[in-house]
Amino acid sequence: MRSPAQNCGPKITAARPFLLPLLLMSISACLGMDISGSNYINALNGTTVKIPCIFTSCYKIDVTHFNMNWTYQESLNGTEQKFMTYSRKKGMVPLHSERFRERVLFAGNLDKNDLSFTLSDVQLEDEGIYNCYVKNPPDRISGHGRIQLNVVTKLPPPRDSTIAVAIGASVGGALALLILSMVIVKCLCRYQKQELISEEKMEEEGKV
């Protein structure tokens, strides 16, 4: 007679092939972080714009190891200028910058992994690349988000949807008529076929 331990052995070994892929997927998913946000933003000159940076991580923020920086550069090859950083005591703190001065304000929520900020009174000189760098140990890979800000003097005029609606309605109507005509033709053909079969049957019965 087998012992209870021996009876349980096959069940454990059979479950391993199913548990191993799930375990590997959970481990690989927590090796790094992902940053979501818009890659391109258009802002009207003189207005206030919000530049987003939201990261996802398998670990909660540990204030003793968490690190975050916002930098600005005029182009990809330009020098990065740090204008906001994370402080253990004060949280997200704007740094003194001749370019932005007092126009930068943290508008995110650390509890929700939101590191967004707002830039007020947008100027043409503010156009460029804004980098969001995040380190959240024990995540092994650091996060990096890049947002291109384009400053415009006027917004493009809204598109007139009347023409599009009219074209869509006409195309839809034409398709509906086409489908209806196909159905009618198919029904007529089927009806004629049935009449032909009935006539042939009547002729055969008459001959008999």
No. of H helices and E strands in the chain? 2, 11
pLDDT at residue 158, rounded to an integer: 64
Domains (range + CATH), the chain:
34-152 (2.60.40.10)
Could you tell me the mean pLDDT of each successive run of 10 residues in the chain, 208 residues long? 45 44 45 78 96 92 93 94 94 93 94 95 96 92 93 74 61 71 67 65 63
C-beta of residue 45 within 8 angstroms of C-beta of residue 153: yes
The pLDDT value recorded for residue 197 is 64
When computed from its CA atoms, the radius of gyration of the chain, rounded to whole angstroms, is: 33
Regarding pTM above 0.75, the answer is no
Residue 118's pLDDT is: 97
d(CA 66, CA 113): 11
What pLDDT is attached to residue 121? Answer: 96
Amino acid at 87: S
* Predicted pLDDT of residue 2: 47
Distance separating alpha carbons of residues 153 and 127, to the nearest angstrom: 12
